[in-house]
Structure 1
Amino acid sequence: MEELRGKVVTNDELQQFRQKLAQYEEHQLNIFYEYFWEDLIYILETLDSLSILRELSFRHCNSVEHYVSIRKQRGASAFARMLLEDIRASGRDTTLGLWESLFALQNDHPHPNLLGILDELTQTGDFLEQNVILDIIGPDLSHDLKACRLQHKQTLLEKTQNLVEHRAPGLTTESLSFHISERYLDLIVVSSQHFRSRPQHELIATGGIHEHYLQRAQSNLERISPNRLFRWCHRKRRVPQTVLVSGVPGVGKTTLMQKFVYDWANGKLYQRFAFVFFFKFRDLNNDELSLAQMIIDEYPYLHNQLDIIFQNPAQLLFIFDGLDESKYQIDLKQMELCTNPCSMQTVGVIVSSLVRQTLLNGCSVLITSRPTRLATVETSIFHRVSEIMGFFPKEREKYFLHFFRDYTMAEKAFHYVRENGMLYTFCYIPSYCWIICTVLSMCFRDQKINSASTIEFFPKTVTQLFASFLSNILANHSQQRCIDKNFLISIGRMAENGVNSHTLSFTKDDLEAFSVDTSSHLVTSFVMESGKPPHVSYSFLHLTIQEFMAALVHYLDYSPERLQKALEEAKSYKDGRGEIFLRFISGLSDSSTRSLLKPYIGDLSAEASKHVISFLQMSIPTRRTQNTDIRKVLNEFARLTESRNKALVFSSIGSNKHFDFSEFYLAPLDCTVLAFILESCRQTEVLNLGACFIQTEGLERLVPTLHTVTDVRFTKNNLRNEDVQQIYSLLSHPYCRIQKLSLRNNGLTEESCANLATAINENKSLRELDLSKNKLAGDDFCQLLAVLSVPTCRIERLGLQEIKLTPEYAKSLLSLSVNTNLTHLNISSNFFGDAGYPHIKELILSHPSLKEIRVELNDFSEETEEDLKQLQTRRPDVVIS
């Protein structure tokens, strides 16, 4: 993207920047430093540490070696914080040196957060101090308005200061409430320039790119912390007034808004806004009303001051949460707009008019929505568009600790989920964490009650997780009275209709249309009410619960025609809305999964199970072509994984000995799915995972089953030194079948050599190893070479192309002559030069079994190149190239 390429900073521009900063007094520089503190930490964590340290050293600010050591020993976060603290303590000149260094780094490191703060500093620097102060103390108001704002803040504090953690029936009779400052966990919010019509279910799509965002895309990823939502936007070259925040259901949009409002009401955030008005779309169900009435309905005490409040629109912020939950179809580009806050309009017209600035021109607006709702919304009218990606890995673990409030139990639960890729992948979603923790807490409770219970009965698939969740609800209610199966069928039919029509919010009429009895004791276990009579709406506790009930209904009330239609429709949706439904319906085909519900609702339809298995069998691609849609293949594999039907996989896919996923991004969940398929197929000949962007978590998921494959290709996956421990586990497996392994073009360095050496030494099957295009040169490389040189080493083909070998390594290579199994060696594209050539020549002449050696592009002189040609006549049995 053009705006992320940065610019070529000239010496003149650097001089101008230096002069501009030099004009500020020390207290102003301190204000700027504090203002940008969190941004600076994130930037220093993300950028190459040596680059920033060299720039600082060049300006005599800091020593390189000291901080390199800190980063290596204590991590990026500790390095960033310590460096910034030391710079602040060193005074004005060092602080100026940091800013100059960052300005110079634009050329080679155009990180969007870096570009953003430099842009904000240069574009708004003259006004930045007063803007910072305005956000701290707020605008000057009349005595009456100050009293009114104080009452408004107190009201919002009371509404937002507690986070309610719902407890499923069976755990406790009441929900638990905690102060928001104690339990709120940071969410990842990133810039997002457009909302595509996603070909995948949004939950799966976001989960898939989550690790990608965390580990690889940081060079192009702009982090947006809550205090930056209404700060200078580098992309739009302005301070935004209209902001859109997107996120999948349950990812924390409402909680983020609650924390935002709490921080404003508490005086910690954006005091430039004299008044913040917080609404939920699901509660705005009036056919027509005015903006003034909308505010008075929610905040009646503002009635007498509303006209005065409207006189300063720039001091107002309107927050509308859950665009996707609105009863009405809101078109933000509609032509009908209003200008009068007292005129009667639809909610859509009012919101559109605020966003388009015809109503209260100068006000600020913040809207949240699901991504799928935004695929049809023109988002260009917003000044900032961002997306909540959910929890960082550390926040996931913290959530478990908060939930269980017992370190041992929390650690046990998190370890179980961390080892289960199917469950862990979705833990970026807070509400999903809640469901997982709820189910595991039940399992722990059952273990105490029944000592024979083991971890084997813990959920292993997403379907089992939700079946366990539902069984707990039903167990609680079955103690009081019998379970009404008809109620479950009715609510399941409504759920399915909602999945098909993208409906999250249901009316009283919807419930009546599907014969859902609102007086049933089960209602509150599935849906929650919103709004005030007569405008009450209902929604499932989570979208995934809605999708599970939509699948379950076909096992509760089996109809061959209805089931077939549902399967075909779900598979046909281009936006992937039916994918989780299909995975659940596949998962319920497993008898052990269905048995979790049997004690409460009896036997689920075995005929439905057979029908689904037949559907799965017909759906499995038997032949791969060049035009095969890999995403569709992986979706089929995921359904098979949920079904846990290894016999079906083996009979349908087992004959396919060659899997090629090269150049297709494999998320950790895909790797979990692929591991089940490999385990079921038992003996795969070739698995090509080249350029699949497999990272640490994905590798962990795959390794337990990779030993069954003969040829494994990990080319170009950016694997790192810490990942070699997984490679060791793979190669040292007692039943390892791997004969060919490619680790070509990854991020391995000499630090990986010791682990590689141990792995190769313990392995009995490996015949071909390609380590080319890694930076292996270093002292530890000799350990690896020693193992490759022993007579018992079985490796026949060895790739050491472009691994940064210099002349002094040439002599060490002579030891390879001892390995009489070695027939093909590639040491091209290194730096041996003429100085290293005599040893390479000796290796060629002395190696007893060598059939081919590649030595081109090694900085040889013409004379040496000529000698190589002559060498061919002395060893005609060896191909030299």
Structure 2
Amino acid sequence: QNQESESDSIPKISESNSPIKLKNQLKLDYDQILVGNSQTGHQKYLNDIYTDLYVVQNETGGRVNDHEVRQIELNLKQSDCKDTPIECNNIFKVHMGRKNRKVLTMGIAGVGKTVSVSKFIHDWAHGKENQDISLIFPLPFRELNQKELITQKLSLMELLHKFCFSSPEELPSLPEGDGKVMFIFDGLDECRFPLSFKKNYRITGVHEKTTLSKMITSLIKRHLVPFSLIWITSRPAAASLIPRNYIDQVTEVRGFNDEQKEKYFNKNSDPEVAGIIIRHIRKIRSLYIMCHIPVFCWISLNVLQPLLAQKGNDKMPTTLTGMYIHFLISQQQKMVEKYNDDLEPKDNAMSFDKIILKLGELAFKQLEKGHLIFYKEDLEECGLDVSDGSVFSGLCTQIFHKTVSTRNVYSFVHLSIQEFLAGLYVFLIHKNEKANPFLQTWKEEVAWKFSKKTPFHLHKAAINKALQSENGHLDLFLRFLLGLSLESNQSDLKELLPKLKLKTEKMKCTAEYIRKKIENENSVERTINLFYCLSELKDDYVEEIQKNFRTGNLSVENLSSAQWSALVFVLLISEETQEIFELQKYRRSDEALMRLLPVIKNTKRALRNCNLTSQSCESLSSSLQSSNSPLRELDLSCNELQDSGVELLSDGLKSPNCQLEILRLPICSLTAQCCKSLSSALLSSVLGELDLSNNDLRDSGVKLLSDGLKSLHCQLKILRLSGCMVTEEGCGYVSSALSSNPSHLRELDLSYNHPGDSGVKLLSEKLEDPNCSLDKLKYVEQKSHYACNLTLDSNTANNHIILSEENRKMTYAEENQSYPDHAERFDRAPQVLCRESLSGRCYWEAEWSGKAHISVAYKGISRKQGNRDCMFGLNRNSWSLICSDDKFLASHNNHTIDTCVSSRSCRKVGVDVDVSAGTLSFYSISDTHKLTHLHTFNTTFTESLCAAFRLMVYNSSVSLCQTEKPVSSNRDITHTPV
């Protein structure tokens, strides 16, 4: 391999040779990186295999004690949030005028923290990056755990001599200056000695002898070498060992994003093979999630590449358990090849199945304790002889990792391998000995002794044990244990363990027990893991639920607790809901929102026309305050939130965690009262678009809103106040606000208000003001701007409908009319369609008497039946306003909504449809031509539309009104800056 030419020309940083010697030593240590295990010496050059990792400023902010697979799932949902990606070489560079001296980098096991550290050191040693640093001292906790270091007192200089220099003369002192010296403490989670930050000791001298604990805490507290740079890496659960007030910057390694994952496979395999692997993993959610961990990508490559090379082999693992079984098989084959090539095989070398069983025992016992690193005595307790090369050869060289130091430290390459071997161990000892390692009391042991000792009884104990864990540290272990019970996995396992006796086990009892647990489980995270357990068992419950949701069979039923949980699970793992979640597809209610809140928290856009009330707003407000929530667009249009609901939402908007950019609140029964809390929220939120259209805000509400708009802290760029009863007085408040804060608001919608000439003039002046950012002002005074003239289509009219006034009036008659037969005619329902198709934005008005449906329908709606499929308002193909003597009702798909508006003094209705926007609004029109909003349907129109009418009782009628199109009073002014 060719090394970088820069390595031969390292700039001299000080008169001492210490930096040069240190860089040369670090080149030897970090030019190559282990792939698998140190025992085999299988090393590759870092630059040849390094793939960029997704590192972000700030941490997840989730519960750091959760099982790390849960944290991958959380990060996967948040990967499109506005995190700030940062290259590992830039972590200590000046950002926004601030230089970070102490950085904590968090990340789950195997995600790439140590590789990031290695890359940083490698590039510094080769003179590529961070050359303002004179000396970098890597001090991994794994090596600091040596007994002689923990028990004896030594100075900082003595410690550095032990780790980095052979004699004191090579490093007589540390260079002075800000950021000239850097200490890297990798693996805080592996620290086996206490770090106490509460005690007030101060170690200040580099030659002062002290304990290792006091030395490290003094460095972090900045008592010792105060101007040094310190980088600490840790798994999330151990990160709290260091109080945050001692850390300048927290970063998080998220592993591979989608692009980096594909780059890894393409870099390490043939492009065609890489493509097949990527497509296979994408199809299986559990594998796709795990592949955000670089180590799992390595495992997948080790498994899938050889399988694809076998001709005619189309059998690829589709579960996590299957993947890890095949991984063991591939490593067993490597072990066999090694021993076949070994000229002097050892007679006492353990067989593969014995190695697996003993490693499994070690994995299980240490997993129960929460340990990921082990020592010689831990191995010997499980019958593993550390001097036996077979323990670290073949399979175990890549499963097990041995760190050479004064006191050897051992670990599995990744936590998931430890969890799988632990599951395999429990599976085998039950199969061979009917043992149950979960028994804790003598009563349980007696009960087990006299039980049938079936796999179900073992599974039941394991499920209960896993559910008792607060941090879910047995979640993945449980999935592996259950998956190993499948006959298909046991068949593959027999290739690994030939002595294994195959026995078909019935998993029905286990699956039913899991379903019962789902019914009673309140924790979303635990419920999700239980569903993953069902997936490992290949149980069809989740598929049944998915099928019913897709067909809509469950949207109108009373769901059980388990079905709600299943819906949450299905939606959380769906890529579709990561972008937008439409609650109305499932259940339009406050209860549905509460049940599906975990999904809403993890989507970018939600929720409109969902029959919500102020009751839901407290939960939504809490979601907005969740750290790193991906929710960016909240569409609450056409929900009865009222002022009290919006006041609760405003509390969420004020949270520093809230990243909501768009808030839509049209037709939410709001008044001026809510504007005070919204105005206050504008002072601190990042909200860029606010839509309050069709609410009774009036000038008093606009005045309160303008108080927020005036603030330079207000980030609002788009404000929509269409149909809010604003006059020239309200326009004056907005104009004044734009004078105070002219740099943000770019678009203002005041259509369907009464600003008068003076109001329009005030705001138009702001359009021309070069110091004001406003460049779009919408003002449309009358909906007749979009008026369309319609005619009734006689070919569609039912035989009891009389058309008159040039086909602009219809009347319901008892007598049968002599219309000719026609394929488009409604043969039973007293209905008629209009001839013209609706496109773009359309508005029309109609007068009615008796009882009538004023509707919009797809042209392809059924004609020849008298059931719901053809009747307007009772199916998916039509939307209706039902007009009767006392009230107005809105109806779609046989779901009726009371508009709460009386029809006694009104006999004229306006219909406004915007086909591209997917909105259909109905208005009652008074004698003075005042429009009162009745209802708005929000949908996506997928077929050709036309106006439609249905009469309910004899002698009822509907007449289409002639609507003029005035030009002078309508404005849609757009100003584009030069």
Query: For the residues of structure 1 that align with 2:271 and 2:317, how far apart are their CA atoms?
Result: 21
- 1:503 paired residue number: 371
Check conservation: 1:474, 1:483, Cα contact below 8 A.
no
1:535 maps to 2:407:
yes
Name which of 259, 265, 275 aligns with 2:135.
275
TM-score, reference length from structure 2:
0.54
Check conservation: 2:187, 2:233, Cα contact below 8 A.
yes
Query: For the residues of structure 1 that align with 2:950 and 2:316, how far apart are their CA atoms?
Result: 67
- 1:158 paired residue number: 28
**In the alignment, residue 412 of structure 1 is paired with which amino acid?**
I
TM-superposition CA deviations, 1:305-349 (whole Å, max 9, x none): 423325557410001111112333444555455333334444332
1:476 maps to 2:370:
no
Identity of aligned residues (%): 22
* Cα distance change on mapping 1:575 and 1:167 into 2, 3 Å: closer
Shift of 1:538: 0.5
TM-superposition CA deviations, 1:330-381 (whole Å, max 9, x none): 4455545533333444433222111111211211110001111124542331
* Cα distance change on mapping 1:227 and 1:484 into 2, 3 Å: closer
Check conservation: 1:529, 1:536, Cα contact below 8 A.
no
Check conservation: 1:630, 1:661, Cα contact below 8 A.
no
1:634 maps to 2:528:
yes
**In the alignment, residue 282 of structure 1 is paired with which amino acid?**
R
Query: For the residues of structure 1 that align with 2:220 and 2:123, how far apart are their CA atoms?
Result: 23
Check conservation: 2:856, 2:948, Cα contact below 8 A.
no
TM-score, reference length from structure 1:
0.59
Query: For the residues of structure 2 that align with 1:269 and 1:407, how far apart are their CA atoms?
Result: 32
Please state whether the residue corresponding to 1:366 is helix, strand or coil. Answer: strand
1:551 maps to 2:423:
yes
**In the alignment, residue 419 of structure 1 is paired with which amino acid?**
K
TM-superposition CA deviations, 1:714-764 (whole Å, max 9, x none): xx99899xxxxxxxxxxxxxxxxxxxxxxxx999xxxxxxxxxxxxxxxxx
Name which of 872, 878, 883 aligns with 1:823.
872
C-alpha RMSD of matched pairs (Å):
5.2
Please state whether the residue corresponding to 1:863 is helix, strand or coil. Answer: coil
Shift of 1:862: 5.6
Query: For the residues of structure 2 that align with 1:307 and 1:608, how far apart are their CA atoms?
Result: 70
* Cα distance change on mapping 1:841 and 1:572 into 2, 3 Å: same
The structure that is strand-richer by fraction is 2
**In the alignment, residue 562 of structure 1 is paired with which amino acid?**
P
Shift of 1:569: 2.9
- 1:585 paired residue number: 481
- 2:172 paired residue number: 307
* Cα distance change on mapping 1:859 and 1:311 into 2, 3 Å: farther
Check conservation: 2:46, 2:119, Cα contact below 8 A.
no
- 2:42 paired residue number: 175
- 1:562 paired residue number: 437
Shift of 1:461: 0.6
Query: For the residues of structure 2 that align with 1:250 and 1:646, how far apart are their CA atoms?
Result: 32
Check conservation: 2:203, 2:224, Cα contact below 8 A.
yes
Shift of 1:247: 0.5
TM-superposition CA deviations, 1:577-609 (whole Å, max 9, x none): 111111111111112112212123235577896
User: Where do residues 458-469 of structure 1 align in structure 2 (5 Å cutoff)?
Assistant: 458-469=316-327
Check conservation: 1:253, 1:388, Cα contact below 8 A.
yes
Bigger CA drift: 493-502 or 458-467? 493-502
1:512 maps to 2:380:
yes
Unmatched 5+ stretches in structure 1: 1-136, 675-683, 699-715, 721-744, 748-772, 776-788, 797-803, 829-839, 845-852
Shift of 1:822: 5.3
* Cα distance change on mapping 1:583 and 1:332 into 2, 3 Å: farther
Equivalent residues, number: 609
TM-superposition CA deviations, 1:153-183 (whole Å, max 9, x none): 22222322234434999xxx87351341x43
TM-superposition CA deviations, 1:277-312 (whole Å, max 9, x none): 112211222323432232222222573242332555
1:293 maps to 2:293:
no
User: Where do residues 250-649 of structure 1 align in structure 2 (5 Å cutoff)?
Assistant: 250-284=110-144, 285=146, 286-287=149-150, 288=152, 289-300=154-165, 303-309=168-174, 311-312=176-177, 314-404=179-269, 406-445=270-309, 447-448=310-311, 451=312, 453-454=313-314, 457-478=315-336, 480=339, 483-518=351-386, 519=388, 521-524=390-393, 525-526=395-396, 528-558=400-430, 559-563=434-438, 564=458, 566-602=462-498, 604=500, 614-621=509-516, 624=519, 628-646=522-540
Check conservation: 1:638, 1:673, Cα contact below 8 A.
no
Unmatched 5+ stretches in structure 2: 1-8, 340-348, 439-457, 549-553, 578-585, 606-628, 634-659, 663-693, 695-719, 721-795, 797-822, 830-837, 846-853, 863-869, 874-878, 882-889, 891-907, 913-918, 936-946, 959-978
* Cα distance change on mapping 1:294 and 1:808 into 2, 3 Å: same
Please state whether the residue corresponding to 1:577 is helix, strand or coil. Answer: coil
Please state whether the residue corresponding to 1:562 is helix, strand or coil. Answer: coil
* Cα distance change on mapping 1:263 and 1:164 into 2, 3 Å: same
The structure that is helix-richer by fraction is 1
Shift of 1:433: 0.5
- 1:98 paired residue number: none
Please state whether the residue corresponding to 1:428 is helix, strand or coil. Answer: coil
- 1:670 paired residue number: 573
Query: For the residues of structure 2 that align with 1:879 and 1:581, how far apart are their CA atoms?
Result: 70
* Cα distance change on mapping 1:459 and 1:357 into 2, 3 Å: same
Please state whether the residue corresponding to 1:597 is helix, strand or coil. Answer: helix
Shift of 1:222: 2.8
Shift of 1:664: 9.5
* Cα distance change on mapping 1:322 and 1:609 into 2, 3 Å: farther
* Cα distance change on mapping 1:818 and 1:321 into 2, 3 Å: closer
Check conservation: 1:156, 1:265, Cα contact below 8 A.
yes
Query: For the residues of structure 1 that align with 2:950 and 2:575, how far apart are their CA atoms?
Result: 53
TM-superposition CA deviations, 1:200-223 (whole Å, max 9, x none): 311x223212333222x21xx233
Please state whether the residue corresponding to 2:139 is helix, strand or coil. Answer: strand
1:205 maps to 2:70:
yes
Check conservation: 2:32, 2:43, Cα contact below 8 A.
no
User: Where do residues 700-739 of structure 1 align in structure 2 (5 Å cutoff)?
Assistant: none
Query: For the residues of structure 1 that align with 2:276 and 2:934, how far apart are their CA atoms?
Result: 62
Bigger CA drift: 654-663 or 157-166? 654-663
Query: For the residues of structure 2 that align with 1:805 and 1:167, how far apart are their CA atoms?
Result: 66
* Cα distance change on mapping 1:398 and 1:668 into 2, 3 Å: farther
Please state whether the residue corresponding to 2:55 is helix, strand or coil. Answer: strand
Check conservation: 2:203, 2:214, Cα contact below 8 A.
yes
